[in-house]
């Protein structure tokens, strides 16, 4: 057992894409030189959320779809803390869609990793917001009718300054993407394609292997937002992976003089004198 391991029994299905993400995450922490007490992971609810039991760091497993607000509140309370939101496609793009949109435009320095398996696993096989059109599931017996949500184009449109996409079948690339996303100052998104070997008959490992390619191999310039949009829209036949967009934007935290010197959590509260504040109420 490494420093990041726990004694809990891992219950993900054999071959689940979550394993690839789990390993890449631990690799990234090692590359960053982090120990277990250097990071807070905030989890949503779904198969991905079980990671709270397998990964020994500071953890908060919250509600379905609500990981980003918890992460945001924690970051504003202690902006010296490294914070990563571990979320799912149904979790973040369905239930938590509104929070996703606003986290992108808000630009608090947190990393959001979407476990995108295009299906609801924990509730045993319903269509998710990223299920392909025509994908048959328990909630769509004749095939999913709606257009799938495109997480990375959505993030770009909403103003996220760092947008990447990876695949749980390529742990080496995924590790690097996590490291870059974490190092990026501001909101960073890594959308990770992952097969659900039990409930997603369509988006299998082979299906992904046949489609994924690395954008850096095509000379993609991640500082070009229009080019990033073009890559993001290639979701039909080719699946771009790598850093799609990487830019600097002012951090939300930097707009707060209250925390310019010290994180809120380090500010003493024992003897707050409010006498001056009464003046306007006299």
Contact residues toward other proteins (CB under 8 A) are: 6, 8, 36-37, 40, 42, 45, 50, 52-53, 56-63, 66, 69-78, 80-81, 98-99, 101-102, 256-259, 264-265, 267, 269-270, 272-275, 277-278, 281-282
Closest by CA to 164, choosing from 146, 145, 179, is 179
Tell me, rounded to whole angstroms, the distance of Cα 255 from its chain centroid.
Answer: 24
Closest approach, Cβ 10 to other proteins, in A, equals: 12
Are the beta carbons of 194 and 115 closer than 8 angstroms? Answer: yes
Q: Toward other proteins, which CB reaches closer, 59 or 151?
A: 59
Q: Toward other proteins, which CB reaches closer, 36 or 169?
A: 36
Q: Rounded CA gap, 76 and 207, in Å?
A: 41
Q: Toward other proteins, which CB reaches closer, 170 or 253?
A: 253
Closest approach, Cβ 41 to other proteins, in A, equals: 9
Closest by CA to 253, choosing from 76, 100, 82, 74, is 76
Strands 239-246 and 212-214, bridge-based pairing? parallel
Q: Rounded CA gap, 143 and 87, in Å?
A: 25
Q: Rounded CA gap, 232 and 235, in Å?
A: 7
Q: How far apart are the first and last CA of the chain?
A: 64
Closest approach, Cβ 198 to other proteins, in A, equals: 19
Q: Toward other proteins, which CB reaches closer, 20 or 49?
A: 49
DSSP state of 87: E
Closest approach, Cβ 3 to other proteins, in A, equals: 9
Q: Toward other proteins, which CB reaches closer, 93 or 164?
A: 93
Closest approach, Cβ 101 to other proteins, in A, equals: 7
């Amino acid at each position: 057992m490494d420093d990041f391991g726990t004694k809990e029994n891992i219950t993900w299905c054999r071959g689940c894409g979550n394993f690839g993400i789990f390993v890449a995450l631990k690799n990234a922490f090692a590359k960053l030189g982090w120990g277990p007490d250097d990071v807070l992971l905030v989890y949503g609810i779904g198969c991905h959320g079980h990671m709270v039991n397998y990964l020994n760091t500071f953890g908060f497993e919250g509600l379905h779809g609500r990981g980003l607000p918890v992460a945001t509140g924690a970051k504003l309370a202690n902006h010296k803390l490294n914070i990563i939101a571990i979320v799912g496609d149904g979790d973040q793009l369905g239930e938590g869609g509104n929070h996703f949109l606003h986290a992108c435009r808000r630009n608090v320095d947190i990393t959001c990793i979407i476990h995108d398996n295009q299906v609801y696993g924990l509730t045993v096989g319903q269509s998710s917001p990223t299920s392909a059109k025509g994908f048959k599931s328990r909630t769509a017996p004749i095939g999913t009718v709606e257009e799938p949500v495109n997480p990375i184009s959505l993030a770009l449109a909403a103003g996220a300054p760092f947008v990447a996409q990876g695949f749980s079948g390529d742990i080496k690339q995924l590790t690097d993407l996590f490291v870059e996303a974490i190092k990026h100052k501001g909101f960073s998104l890594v959308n990770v394609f992952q097969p659900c070997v039990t409930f997603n008959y369509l988006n299998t490992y082979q299906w992904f292997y046949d489609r994924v390619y690395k954008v850096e191999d095509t000379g993609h310039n991640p500082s070009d937002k229009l080019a990033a949009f073009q890559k993001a829209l290639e979701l039909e036949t080719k699946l771009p992976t790598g850093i799609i967009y990487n830019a600097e934007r002012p951090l939300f935290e930097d707009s707060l003089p209250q925390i310019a010197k010290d994180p809120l959590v380090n500010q003493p509260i024992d003897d707050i004198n409010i006498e001056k504040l009464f003046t306007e109420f006299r």
